[in-house]
């Protein structure tokens, strides 16, 4: 790409359309439920159950707005590597470059982290087998699954999401029984909300939980990367799948975390440490405390499935993101290679090579190494979500500038332009709060190590952004709104035909009973 030139991005590679509607819906519903909810929520719980609910409610609210923005953009422009591509097109090529590599780094680092977390989960059963052996087994399994193409990825995520869904629903039913006195502890009720209390670390503790909540919800936007490989009509299938995020938030997070807060006290010694070990999972702690012998092992299997599922998503997310970057001229051209089966082999190969970092689990320095690996991608999600909302705002501005309306769009965001502004502002505020916590850590004195471990992700984004600005010599902050092209790459190029289809769908929807209208709005 020439310096200073803005590209209009379309799919150039031969990704196969093999993802089915049911797979997309399950990926959206439970695809990225993993260690953030099942393990890291234990660390957050140390700040009190009230902090848990307040933080997850705040993050969930602007995540929902973000996903609605993504649904509208993905329905109009179903391209590979959607968010980075949208950032390049609607915001600025340098920002698109920074966002693309930010997201790619996030996923390529997540994989070795999840591999080690999975091997450590095996230690729940006091396995005599060295953890490196489990790392090797899980490593081969995940790479082989991705070599099966998007069908292998889709089916794996479909089955894993069902297992996670059943596990969470089963835990919720058990939790109600335990709270009401069905376990060894007798009647629990709300005693842990009174002692040690709902907010054990004050305002600063709530702010620290915002970051954990964001981490637990990271990967929700992965559904946007599937738009170029959807077997169904993207304008219908993707928005419908993205609507499932609402139910993930309500069932998987808000309800489940409320019940966990009733069952496990914030002062529990088992929560201290915050490593990716299943014994620190508040879910396993709650089941053990109830005196149930077999269920902790069963739920530990669910934790293991969730971790491997995230590892599987990591290879998919990285390979599709660098493919999109290569299409834009923002990554080496060899990443554009897609074989006859629709597999971006170059991206999968690089992910496999970087994932060899997982074998650092054999080193006594593994915790230090992985702390820095996590810091590289720790804030990636906030930048990604903010970029999605900013792209949406710029797209709507270009639409308005050309005197066109949302009537021509295949899907219109439920939260609209104000929801996108809310999502963008909240992402900025959480980044600002994280900067404050990085400078003045909870319960510690200010120090450089903690600052960079918590905020290195922002430094990486700035380096990529400024580096591309200098290289391209394009110092404009934003693409001019009159230069934004909003027709190339559309899922439906014939706008008149599209409007006719939408009009017919609306007429059919009017004849539906009220309960069906409500169901279609939320599902």
What would the pLDDT profile of 359-402 be if each residue is shown by its tens digit? 776 566 655 665 566 556 667 889 999 999 999 999 999 999 98
Per-residue pLDDT at 2 exceeds 50: no
Half-sphere exposure of 184 (CA within 13 A, CB side): 8
How far CA 301 is from CA of 123, 172, 212, 289, 333, in Å, comes to 12, 17, 23, 18, 40
Cα separation, 439 vs 427, whole angstroms? 19
Peptide bond into 196 cis (omega under 30): yes
Q: What's the predicted TM-score (pTM) here?
A: 0.84
Mind listing the pLDDT tens digit for each residue in 294-346? 888 888 888 888 888 888 888 888 888 888 888 878 888 888 888 887 788 88
Q: What tens digit of pLDDT does each residue of 85-138 get?
A: 888 889 998 998 999 898 888 888 888 878 877 777 777 777 777 778 888 888
Question: What is the band of 23 on the pLDDT scale with cuts at 50, 70, 90?
Answer: low
Predicted confidence (pLDDT) at residue 171 exceeds the cutoff of 50? yes
3-class secondary structure, 286: helix
Give the whole-angstrom CA distance, residue 157 versus residue 229. 15
Q: How confident is the model at residue 466 (pLDDT cuts 50, 70, 90)?
A: very high
pLDDT at 465: 93
The dihedrals phi and psi of 319, each to the nearest 5 degrees, come to -65, -35
Q: Which residues contact 301 (CB under 8 A, 6 or more apart)?
A: none
pLDDT band with cut points at 50, 70 and 90 for residue 414: confident
- Indicate whether 496 pLDDT > 80: no
d(CA 216, CA 508): 39
Comparing 238-247, 284-293, 375-384, 405-414, which segment has the lowest mean pLDDT?
A: 238-247
Kindly list the distances between the CA atom of residue 286 and the CA atoms of 131, 249, 364, in Å, as whole numbers in the listed order: 26, 21, 31
Distance CA 232, CA 223 (A): 14
């Amino acid at each position: 790409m020439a310096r200073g030139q803005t590209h209009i991005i379309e799919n150039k590679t031969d990704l196969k359309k093999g993802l089915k509607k049911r797979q997309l819906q399950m990926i959206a519903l439970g695809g990225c439920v993993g260690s953030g909810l099942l393990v890291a929520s234990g660390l957050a719980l140390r700040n009190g159950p009230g902090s848990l609910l307040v933080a997850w409610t705040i993050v969930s609210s602007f995540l929902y707005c973000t996903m609605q923005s993504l649904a509208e953009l993905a329905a109009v422009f179903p391209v590979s590597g959607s968010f980075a591509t949208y950032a390049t097109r609607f915001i600025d090529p340098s920002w698109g470059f920074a966002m693309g590599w930010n997201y790619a780094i996030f996923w390529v680092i997540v994989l070795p982290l999840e591999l080690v977390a999975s091997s450590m989960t095996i230690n729940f059963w006091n396995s005599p087998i060295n953890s490196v052996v489990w790392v090797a087994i899980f490593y081969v399994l995940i790479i082989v699954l991705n070599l099966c193409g998007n069908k292998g990825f889709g089916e794996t995520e479909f089955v894993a999401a069902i297992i996670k869904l059943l596990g969470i629903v089963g835990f919720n039913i058990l939790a109600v029984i335990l709270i009401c006195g069905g376990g060894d502890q007798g009647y629990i009720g709300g005693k842990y909300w009174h002692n040690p209390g709902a907010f054990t670390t004050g305002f600063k503790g709530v702010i620290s939980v915002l970051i954990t909540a964001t981490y637990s919800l990271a990967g929700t936007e992965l559904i946007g990367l599937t738009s170029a490989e959807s077997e169904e009509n993207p304008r219908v299938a993707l928005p419908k799948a993205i609507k499932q995020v609402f139910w993930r938030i309500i069932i998987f997070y808000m309800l489940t975390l409320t019940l966990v807060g009733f069952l496990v006290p914030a002062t529990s010694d088992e929560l201290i440490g915050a490593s990716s070990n299943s014994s620190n999972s508040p879910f396993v702690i709650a089941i053990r405390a109830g005196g149930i012998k077999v269920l902790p092992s069963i739920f530990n299997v669910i934790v293991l499935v969730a971790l491997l599922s995230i590892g599987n998503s990591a290879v998919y997310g990285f390979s599709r993101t660098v493919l999109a970057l290569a299409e834009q001229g923002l990554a080496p051209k060899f990443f554009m290679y897609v074989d006859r089966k629709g597999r971006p082999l170059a991206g999968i190969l690089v992910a496999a090579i970087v994932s060899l970092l997982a074998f650092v689990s054999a080193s006594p320095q593994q915790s230090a190494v992985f702390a820095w690996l996590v810091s590289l991608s720790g804030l990636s999600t906030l930048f990604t979500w903010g970029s999605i909302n900013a792209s949406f705002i710029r797209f709507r501005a270009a639409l308005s500038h050309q005197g066109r309306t949302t009537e021509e769009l295949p899907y219109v965001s439920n939260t609209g332009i104000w929801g996108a502004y809310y999502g963008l502002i909240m992402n900025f505020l959480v980044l600002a709060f994280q900067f404050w916590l990085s400078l003045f850590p909870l319960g510690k004195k200010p120090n450089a190590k903690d600052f960079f471990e918590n905020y290195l992700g922002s430094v990486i984004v700035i380096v990529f952004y400024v580096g591309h600005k200098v290289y391209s010599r394009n110092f404009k902050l934003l693409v001019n709104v009159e230069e934004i092209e909003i027709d190339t790459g559309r899922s439906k190029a014939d706008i008149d035909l599209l409007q006719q289809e939408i009009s017919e769908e609306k007429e059919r929807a009017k004849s539906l009973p009220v309960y069906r209208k409500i169901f279609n709005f939320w599902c």
